A and B are shown apart, each in its own frame.
Chain A
Amino acid sequence: MTTHALSDTSVMLGRSVRHVTRSLDTIITVTIMPIAFLLLFRYVFGGAIETGTDNYVNYLMPGILLIAIASGITYTAYRLFMDLQRGIFERFHSMPIARSSVLWGHVLTSLVSNGISVVVILLSGLVIGFRSSAGPLAWLAVAGILGLFTLALTWVAVIPGLTASTVDGAAAFSYPIVFLPFVSSAFVPTETMPGPVRAFAENQPVTSIVNSIRALLEQQPVGTEIWTALAWCTGILVVAYALAMRAYRRKIG
């Protein structure tokens, strides 16, 4: 059964990745907004923002990557919603396959497509002055955090994908997530914010993730912040997965 689950999941992954490569505009749509923010903050607002670093692009990069992932996962909700609408979801469920492969195919595809987006943005960053002296291990750690973050948010996206009644509803959930980095340490130091806002900014998941990635890229010690970041990602992952499985069981009766 487990070997079936693996081979079925890889068939489903192949199908869904083909959806991504057939509509490369989705990668462009996902990356264009973060790149626009990157340019906006680098060349318009950046001059007036005091972060205490000499390279503001380096400062921006982690937050920009999180925004890209937060908008990228919308497509998982969209693709899942379309599968349900078109009846192919039911076709798969009436077939002798591992049922888990139906959702995992979409989830793994999200990791692949968001990975591509992240690389595209990093390359664009290089053009406008992003530099990092981090070694392979630090980069591996950054990839690990971003992967975990993507996995957690993708399971969040599965919930509206399964339960939404309109395609707009399936996509709307991501707006608040895309907005979170703006009220965090992603663009400005939290010390400049008024009390309650600062309290929120310092205690929401994005700040710890941004600070950890920034420290890794700048070869600074990550301190305890990385544990906070990992705890947030794992916590979101566990809760989202449980809710998604509940929605799934309801869906298949």
Chain B
Amino acid sequence: MISVSGLHKSYSELHVLRGVDFEVTAGSIFALLGSNGAGKTTILRILATLLKPDGGTATVNGFDVVSQPAEVRESISLTGQFAAVDEILTGRENLILIGRLRRVDDPKGTADDLLARFGLAEAAGRRVATYSGGMRRRLDIAMSLIGTPPVIFLDEPTTGLDPEGRIEVWQVIQQLADSGTTVFLTTQYLEEAEKLADRIAILHQGTIIVSGTLAELRELLPPASVEYVERQPTLEEIFLAIVKEQR
């Protein structure tokens, strides 16, 4: 579904990508890991036709990102690092806006379906400026689903979300993949990749240093030894348990 080979990109002196290769199969969740500044967003911007590579090739849904950008844009949706929603419009208007631009048959009906599906029906008529971070991110992802593009790019989809918001987004991503959409996500949370991704690639110093399924990556390290450790609940488990009780 996505095929990248020998990708190069420099910003003046800074050589960010030095020959990146990977493949993403249709209907899978692919997680790109890397530290801040490793070039994850650069790869994403190239795949989303927002940036031209200096060298190498990249195809999405069979279309070349440089020579067939219009076809690539038909095939994808991009959800950026900061929820790219219109704050002055209401949630519903945001969805209708994207629906009109993507020329779906029934922008209003599509908007209402998505609002219900993402638990935003109640807030539909409120300006997005009044939404919480989690609601914005959900709206952002909902906007990406309009027109059912076969490939969805998510740039750090859970950065800045509280634990509940993060779990909600994870559920959405899982549902997407279950319905056959190819999901490409970048993250710096290793746990997120572990929970969601079918395949994981680690970007370091401009190249993919390892990639594979979680099981394959585990084999890179010496076999697990059995140790007995008293297991304390994590703070996240405590937080979620208490918050749930309060409801």
The reply to whether B73 and A15 form a contact with Cβ atoms under 8 Å apart is no
Q: Judging by beta carbons under 8 Å apart, are B97 and A11 in contact?
A: yes
Verify B100–A94 contact, CB threshold 8 A: no
A22 CB within 8 Å of chain B:
yes
- What residues on B are CB-neighbors of A22 within 8 Å? 88, 127
Total cross-chain contacts (CB, 8 A) = 59
* Main SS at interface, chain A: helix
Distance in Å: Cβ of A20 to nearest Cβ of chain B:
10
A23 and chain B: residue at smallest CB distance: B88
Q: Is the CB of B82 within 8 A of A15?
A: no
A93 touches B50 (CB 8 A): yes
Interface residues of B in 68-88 (CB under 8 A from A): 70, 73-74, 76-78, 80-88
The docked-state distance in angstroms from the alpha carbon of A95 to that of B97 is 12
Q: Is the CB of A15 within 8 A of B89?
A: yes
- Chain A residues contacting B86 (CB-CB under 8 Å) are 15, 86, 88
Q: Report Cα–Cα, A36/B17, bound state, in Å.
A: 57
Q: From A97, which residue of chain B is reached at the shortest CB distance?
A: B101
In the bound assembly, the distance between CA atoms of A39 and B87 in angstroms comes to 37
Q: Confirm or deny: A137 has a beta carbon within 8 angstroms of a beta carbon on chain B.
A: no
Instruction: Kindly state whether residue A250 has any CB partner on chain B within 8 Å.
Output: no
Task: Return B181 CB to nearest CB of chain A, in Å.
Answer: 16
In B167-216, the 8 Å CB interface with A consists of none
Contact between chains at A86 and B101 (CB < 8 Å) = no
Of B50, B93, B98, the residue contacting A253 (CB under 8 A) is B50
* B80: chain A residues within 8 A (beta carbon): 87, 90-91
Is there contact, CB below 8 Å, between B81 and A87? yes
A96 at the interface (CB under 8 A from B): yes
Q: B50 — which chain A residues lie within 8 A by C-beta?
A: 90, 93-94, 252-253
Asked if A91 contacts B78 (CB within 8 A), the reply is yes
B52 is an interface residue with CB less than 8 A from chain A: yes
Residues of A within 8 A of B85 (CB): 86, 88
Check: A18 CB closer than 8 A to any chain B CB.
yes
Q: Which one, A19, A87, A95, contacts B101 given CB within 8 A?
A: A95
Considering the chains assembled together, what is the distance between the CA atoms of A108 and B75 in angstroms? 30
CB-based contact A94/B51 at 8 Å:
no
Q: Given the interface contacts A94-B73, A97-B101, A253-B51, does A18 sit within 8 Å of B88 by beta carbon? A: yes
Q: How large is the interface on A (under 10, 10 to 19, 20 to 34, 35 or more residues)?
A: 20 to 34
| Interface membership of B7, Cβ < 8 A | no
List A contacts of B114 (CB < 8 A): none
Q: Could you tell me the distance between the alpha carbons of A15 and B89 in the complex, rounded to whole angstroms? A: 8
Residues of A near B77 (CB, < 8 A) are 94-95
The answer to whether B88 touches A19 (Cβ under 8 A) is yes
Q: B102 an interface residue at 8 Å Cβ cutoff?
A: yes
Give bound CA distance, A87 to B84, whole Å: 5
Chain A, residues 86-112, CB within 8 Å of chain B (1/0): the string is 111011111111000000000000000
With a cutoff of 8 Å between Cβ atoms, the chain B residues found around residue A19 in the complex are: 88
Specify which chain A residues have a CB less than 8 angstroms from the CB of B49 in the assembled complex. 93-94
The CA-CA distance from A11 to B87 in the complex, in Å, is 17
Contact B88 A96 (CB under 8 A): no
Q: Which residues of A contact B24 (CB under 8 A)?
A: none
Asked whether, in the complex, the Cβ of A96 is within 8 Å of the Cβ of B48, the reply is no
Chain B residues within an 8 Å CB radius of A8? 101
Q: Which chain A positions have C-beta within 8 A of B97?
A: 11, 15
A11-B101, A253-B51 known; A95 and B87 CB under 8 Å?
A: no
**Complex Cα distance A253/B78, Å?**
17
Q: State A95–B99 Cα separation when bound (angstroms).
A: 11
* A25 CB to nearest B CB, Å: 12
- Contact partners of A87 in chain B: CB under 8 A: 80-84
Closest Cβ–Cβ distance, residue A100 to chain B (whole Å): 13
Complexed CA–CA distance, A252 and B52 (Å): 9
B89 touching A18, Cβ below 8 Å: yes
The 7 closest A-B pairs by CB, nearest first: A87-B84, A94-B78, A91-B84, A96-B73, A94-B48, A87-B80, A96-B74
| 19 A–B contacts, CB within 8 A, in A order | A11-B100, A15-B97, A18-B88, A22-B88, A22-B127, A86-B82, A86-B84, A87-B82, A88-B85, A88-B86, A90-B50, A90-B80, A91-B80, A94-B50, A94-B73, A95-B73, A95-B98, A97-B101, A253-B51
Report A's interface with B, CB cutoff 8 A.
8, 11, 15, 18-19, 22-23, 86-88, 90-97, 252-253
Footprint of A on B, CB under 8 Å?
Answer: 48-52, 70, 73-74, 76-78, 80-89, 93, 97-98, 100-102, 127, 143
